[in-house]
Structure 1
Amino acid sequence: MFKRTVVSIASAVALVSALSGCGTPSRQTVGTAGGAALGGVAGNVLTNGSTLGTVGGAAVGGVIGNQLGK
Structure 2
Amino acid sequence: MSIKGLLFAATACASLAACGDTLGEQAVGGAAIGAGTAIVTGSSALQGAALGAAGNVAYCQLYPGKCN
TM range (shorter): 0.3 to 0.5
TM-score when scaled to structure 1? 0.42
Higher relative contact order (Cα pairs below 8 Å, separated by 6+ residues): 1
TM-score when scaled to structure 2? 0.43
Structure of higher CA gyration radius: 1
